[in-house]
Amino acid sequence: MYKGGCMCGAVRFEITGPLRNVVYCHCSQCRKLHGTPFASNAGVESKFFKFVSGEDHLTGYEIAPGIIKSFCKTCGSPIIGRNTRQPEMVRIRLGTIESEISERPAAHIFASSRASWDTICDELPQYDAFEPGR
Ligand SMILES: [Zn+2]
Ligand SMILES: [Zn+2]
């Protein structure tokens, strides 16, 4: 089981299944949402994701129709993303997980959107949109 939470500690969650589609996303939305050159994202089946505390401490932003990013109201940590057309999955941010994880990033996605000052320094495959199969 993986445990994680937000910076201030109000929001806590547990993950009891595998992380899927672990990627570095360089899209302009992830850059703004995280304030970083890229986001480190993974999918979890909703049945394996549970809030331990603070679900009512989240606030959300609908970045596109049906796609809602949820943040801690107090500290702003990005906790989950949901797509109303795909309720069986949530997307989480690897940096909010405190446990050692066994999964590893498999690709850079939206690599063509990356910031001009961002250099990709590893050998993972790079895609101009989502990785194949998603
Ligand atoms: Zn917080
Ligand atoms: Zn992105």
3-class DSSP state for residue 19?
coil
Cα–ligand 2 centroid distance for 27 (angstroms): 4
Cα–ligand 2 centroid distance for 24 (angstroms): 8
| Topology of the domain comprising 2-113 | 2.170.150
- Kindly identify the ligand whose nearest atom is closest to the C-alpha of 78: 1
Give the whole-angstrom CA distance, residue 79 versus residue 70.
6
Cα–ligand 1 centroid distance for 79 (angstroms): 9
Give the whole-angstrom CA distance, residue 24 versus residue 31.
11
- What is the pLDDT at residue 134? 82
The whole model's pTM is what? 0.93
- Kindly identify the ligand whose nearest atom is closest to the C-alpha of 75: 1
Sign of the four-CA dihedral 89, 95, 97, 103:
positive
Cα–ligand 2 centroid distance for 112 (angstroms): 12
Q: Where are the domains of the chain?
A: 2-113
pLDDT single digits (tens) 10-20: 999 999 999 99
At 105, the pLDDT band (50, 70, 90 cuts) reads: very high
pLDDT single digits (tens) 22-51: 999 999 999 999 999 999 999 999 999 999
- What is the pLDDT at residue 128? 96
At 133, the pLDDT band (50, 70, 90 cuts) reads: confident
- Kindly identify the ligand whose nearest atom is closest to the C-alpha of 8: 1
Give the whole-angstrom CA distance, residue 23 versus residue 43.
9
Neighbours of 53 (CB within 10 A): 12
- Kindly identify the ligand whose nearest atom is closest to the C-alpha of 69: 2
Cα–ligand 2 centroid distance for 30 (angstroms): 4
pLDDT single digits (tens) 116-127: 999 999 999 999
pLDDT single digits (tens) 74-102: 999 999 999 999 999 999 999 999 999 99
User: Cβ(37)–Cβ(31) under 8 Å?
Assistant: yes
Task: Let me know if 78 is exposed, middle or buried by CB neighbors in 10 A (0-12, 13-18, 19+).
Answer: buried
